[in-house]
Structure 1
């Protein structure tokens, strides 16, 4: 079965039946409106964020499969903090605050693309990212929390989410 794969990056829930997507889909004799609607439905949870999308098309049957990637760590942290862009001056300007459990939520979403073997390691990595873009966690500098994670002060909270982490996203 000959297949064609189209890879695009769109704003979550906001794909449009316009170039470059529309001409490519039309060329493959697919219903552009239907495909765009399915992409928007599949990416709606990532509204306002850039999301990688892959469309695999069987050129004989015209059947297709849409795979949605995961937005960048920065985009997820910014959304969680309700901010639009990184600080640029993290020492003097904080752009938002996230609860510790928000960091865990982002870690679980990013698990497929993270190299961390444990939830604790992923959380520490995301705390570093939050610090780098000017986000506080529970009103504190994320660097302080990394030390506390190492000391075991968040083990109880982390243990609540361990099953989700180990079980993946499904």
Structure 2
């Protein structure tokens, strides 16, 4: 008898430190998945130093017999950009008055990234981006950085 897919659940979990607490527990419990088994497998796969603590998107496919498979995606581009620009997590940005005629800028205007850093992020994100090659992916990442207010230098 073939297994049929009953649900696909998309979550963001911290790498290496996921717990059965919300949002993981309620999302998987509603489909009858063994939450402890998922948390253990996910933490084992993401225990490396490069992913530990980063929020990682994960797509969980739940089958009719309550078994599951999951695919871990790369961290969001904004998270990788903040790491490369050395922006501390939870940093509060000061409120500044912007004239109505000025172009609205992003939140992190005093930070910069080099093209090499952008290319490195693009290589990490290449499989998850809709890009034909690394150069195209780098342009996407640079655009994301500019929208955050980060200056991309040569």
Tell me the TM-score range normalised by the shorter chain. Answer: 0.5 to 0.7
Separation in 1 of the partners of 2:108 and 2:27? Answer: 42
Q: Using CA pairs below 8 Å that are at least 6 residues apart, which structure has the higher relative contact order?
A: 2
Structure 2 vs 1, CA of residues 81 and 37 (structure 1 numbering), >3 Å: closer, same or farther? farther
In the other structure, the counterpart of 1:160 is none
In the other structure, the counterpart of 1:2 is 4
Separation in 2 of the partners of 1:41 and 1:102? Answer: 28
Separation in 1 of the partners of 2:79 and 2:145? Answer: 11
Count residues in correspondence.
134
Q: Does 1:104 align with 2:119?
A: yes
SS at match of 2:56: strand
Separation in 1 of the partners of 2:60 and 2:145? Answer: 32
What are structure 1's unaligned runs of at least 5 residues? Answer: 136-140, 146-170
1:15 to 18, 29, 32: 18
Q: TM-score, normalised by structure 1?
A: 0.61
Q: Does 1:130 align with 2:145?
A: yes
For the Cα contact (< 8 Å) 1:15–1:39, is it kept in 2?
Answer: yes
1:75 to 79, 84, 87: 79
2:70 to 58, 62, 66: 66
2:56 to 48, 51, 54: 51
Greater fraction of residues in helix: 1
Separation in 2 of the partners of 1:27 and 1:89? Answer: 39
What are structure 2's unaligned runs of at least 5 residues? Answer: 94-105
SS at match of 1:8: strand
